[in-house]
Amino acid sequence: MSTFITGACGFVGLSLAEHLMWRGEDVIGFDRAPLPPAASKAFDGLSGRFSMVVGDVRDADALRQAMALHRPQRLVTLAAITADAKRERATPGAIFDVNVGGVIAALTTAADCSVTRVLHASSGSVYGMSGNGATALHEDSTPLRPEGLYGISKQAAEGAALRLAALHGLDLVVGRLGTCFGPWEADTGVRDTLSAPLQALRLAERGETAVLPRDSRRDWLYVRDVAAAISALLDRPRLPHAVYNVAAGFLGSMSTWCDALAAQHPDFAWRLARAGEPTNVDYYAPYDRAPMDIARLRADTGFAPRFDLDAAAKDFLAWRERHGAAPRTAHSASPAHA
């Protein structure tokens, strides 16, 4: 079994590739950036094979050449620009070119190359304002009210993907990813909104105090669970629904996360900001989005998240030690590796 992943060098793409290769499957990664050396080293020890193709997801000819050469059975569309307000003002067209145009190019190519299964990775950002004050967000009953250009473009891409699948007879499922964090997450140049857990972890590694705007409660989704959920959706033939929430299924607070970091970094301190005090962790919104309901995902795939915030903290910090992503401190269990 082989899977073609656009945006393969983003952190969800790398985590998914790692998960599939651990199962012995082959992965074709397509991205503007080459495979990071640390990922290449990590992939060498896995039983599956990874083939890297450097190309722009907006280039239909490059996509067609890559798919025609490798003949994948499955496609996962992860290429996206996760834009902040600064990028929205500067290059709004590029956001849509990648987030919508790239999906159209990938699905059209998949149809031409006889790909049998497609998973389009969308985002919980499509719910937008509906997440302010709601109890839970449901795939069919919650209105889509995206606020920023990222969410607006992801909603448009969902619609385009579903329409193209119907026109070409593609077996397509849409997975709306929740608030992801974990291994391989980094500022890649197209990810402007680094997760709050990673922001706090970086502060802990530098020995700085984290000043939080509030004790945010979100359904933080560890990226290893993301990869497992995507794999579960890919594995099930002819799912009964077209759209699935992919989320943690529980709420966790930033105070819990920061306490878990402090257990591993004894010098780390955090606190809530005083009135008018500047903060150094950005939540990107003045409210906490309601959790995404995953009852449909559980029922149709049997997926169950494995990582609460404590388990995620232990795994993530150990991963950063192994891959040299964390600076060495007096309290490190082992030296960081180059």
**Structure tokens belonging to residue 188:** 């890649």
- Alpha-carbon gap, residue 158 to 163, rounded angstroms: 9
Q: Looking at residue 191, what is its pLDDT?
A: 84
pLDDT given at position 323: 84
Residue ranges of the chain whose pLDDT lies below 50: 327-338
| Helix-then-strand count for the chain, H and E | 12, 13
Q: What is the pLDDT of residue 329?
A: 35
pLDDT of residue 109: 97
pLDDT for 337 equals 22
Where in the chain are the domains?
Answer: 2-182+220-246
Contact by Cβ (8 Å): 103, 156? no
* Total number of residues shown for the chain: 338
Q: What are phi and psi of 252, to 5 degrees?
A: -135, 150
Q: What is the per-residue pLDDT for 334?
A: 26
CA distance 159 to 138: 17
DSSP-derived 3-state class of residue 152:
helix
Count of other CB atoms within 10 angstroms of residue 49? 13
Q: Which of 135, 131, 129, 106 is nearest to 119 (CA)?
A: 106
pLDDT at 333: 29
Confirm if 271 and 216 have CB atoms less than 8 A apart: no
The pLDDT of residue 291:
97
CATH superfamily of domain region 2-182+220-246 = NAD(P)-binding Rossmann-like Domain (3.40.50.720)
What's the mean pLDDT when you consider all of the chain? 93
Beta bridge partners of 221: 180
What pLDDT score was predicted for residue 186? 87
* Region of residue 273 (left: phi > 0; alpha: psi -120 to 50; beta: else): beta
Rounded to 5°, angle at Cα 324 from 318 and 327: 90
pTM of the model: 0.93
